[in-house]
């Protein structure tokens, strides 16, 4: 489905981003993977190549720096001509970001990476999609974009903001035949969850038995391509197995 398409995936070095990239590679996509960790990017690129990607390039970038985002956008357009698919997946969080706890400098970093970066990168790449009248933008948000969290207040705020931006983009770009999809995963079994289990094996049954796999999120992203041009899945919410975590309420 994606042969001949260029897809840019932020946070493409591990977890959800890498899994989405591999899913795209299996459909023949060419990929630009973006993250800060260059060795992890190289490993992800190899996985995508082995999965069948047409071409894979990597780009180390700090998405908290507007100048680096601008340079990334320029490089992507120079390399690809048009980025056909943009996946805004990179995110940053800290254990506590509430009115009572946390470092405001960390709050600023979360806003920059989780919200400002997708806005800026979309502004750089969307005009070519609209001109071509073909493209897909996937914003990986969170269930925290629907329901606030007591302890993850700023993270929740960024995901609420990303949902709002995604809806605005959909209203603007849908008439241009560009799909904009916002995916809202619940808890996903990524490296962070795996490390928690390694540290405390008693959590294995609770975590491994309940949390969804990154492949579940990748499959949700694929819905944008499995549906016809007449259909755009604007919001996709994915919840892990019950019981729902107490901090969702």
Residue pLDDT, tens place only, 107-156: 999 999 999 999 999 999 999 999 999 999 999 999 988 887 788 899 99
Whether 60 is covered by a domain: the verdict is yes
For position 148, what pLDDT does the model report? Answer: 76
Q: Which of 95, 100, 88, 31 is nearest to 63 (CA)?
A: 88
Whether 242 is covered by a domain: the verdict is no
Number of structural domains (the chain) is: 1
What is the distance, to the nearest Å, from the Cα of residue 214 to the centroid of all Cα atoms in its chain? 11
pLDDT, greater one: 204 or 77: 77
For residue 132, the enclosing domain spans: 6-237
For position 203, what pLDDT does the model report? Answer: 60
Whether 245 is covered by a domain: the verdict is no
Whether 1 is covered by a domain: the verdict is no
For position 249, what pLDDT does the model report? Answer: 37
Specify whether the CB–CB gap between 10 and 35 falls below 8 A: yes
Residue 27 sits in a domain whose CATH number is 3.40.50.720
For position 190, what pLDDT does the model report? Answer: 75
Whether 243 is covered by a domain: the verdict is no
Q: What is the pLDDT of residues 47-93, one digit of tens each?
A: 999 999 999 999 999 999 999 999 999 999 999 889 999 999 999 98
For position 151, what pLDDT does the model report? Answer: 84
Which pTM value belongs to this model?
Answer: 0.90
Question: Among this protein's residues, is 155 annotated catalytic?
Answer: yes
Distance from the first to the final alpha carbon of the chain = 39
The torsion angle over the Cα atoms of residues 157, 35, 130 and 144, rounded to 10 degrees, is -20
Whether 33 is covered by a domain: the verdict is yes
The percent of residues in the chain predicted with pLDDT above 70, rounded, is 90
Banded pLDDT at 94 (limits 50, 70, 90): confident
For position 239, what pLDDT does the model report? Answer: 86
Whether 231 is covered by a domain: the verdict is yes
Whether 244 is covered by a domain: the verdict is no
Q: What is the pLDDT of residues 216-235, one digit of tens each?
A: 999 999 999 999 999 999 99
Banded pLDDT at 199 (limits 50, 70, 90): low
Active-site residue identified among 92, 144, 155, 248: 155
């Amino acid at each position: 489905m994606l042969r001949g398409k260029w897809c840019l995936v932020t946070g493409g070095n591990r977890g959800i981003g890498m899994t989405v990239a591999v899913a795209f590679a299996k459909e023949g996509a060419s990929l630009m993977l973006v993250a800060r960790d260059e060795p992890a990017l190289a490993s992800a690129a190899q996985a995508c190549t082995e999965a069948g990607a047409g071409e894979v390039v990597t780009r180390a970038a700090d998405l908290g720096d507007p100048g680096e985002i601008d340079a990334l956008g320029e490089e992507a357009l120079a390399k690809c001509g048009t980025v056909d698919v943009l996946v805004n997946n990179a995110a940053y969080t800290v254990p506590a970001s509430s009115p009572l706890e946390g470092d405001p400098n960390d709050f600023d970093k979360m806003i920059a990476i989780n919200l400002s970066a997708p806005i800026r990168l979309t502004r750089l790449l969307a005009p070519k999609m609209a001109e071509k009248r073909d493209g897909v933008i996937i914003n990986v948000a969170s269930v925290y974009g629907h329901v606030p969290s007591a302890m993850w207040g700023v993270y929740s705020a960024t995901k609420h903001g990303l949902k709002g931006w995604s809806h605005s983009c959909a209203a603007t770009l849908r008439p241009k035949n560009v799909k904009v999809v916002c995916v809202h995963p619940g808890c996903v079994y990524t490296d962070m969850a795996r490390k928690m289990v390694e540290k405390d094996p008693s959590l294995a049954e609770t975590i491994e038995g309940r949390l969804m796999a990154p492949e579940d999120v990748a499959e949700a992203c694929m819905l944008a391509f499995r549906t016809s041009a007449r259909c755009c899945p604007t919001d996709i919410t994915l919840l892990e197995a019950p019981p729902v975590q107490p901090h969702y309420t």
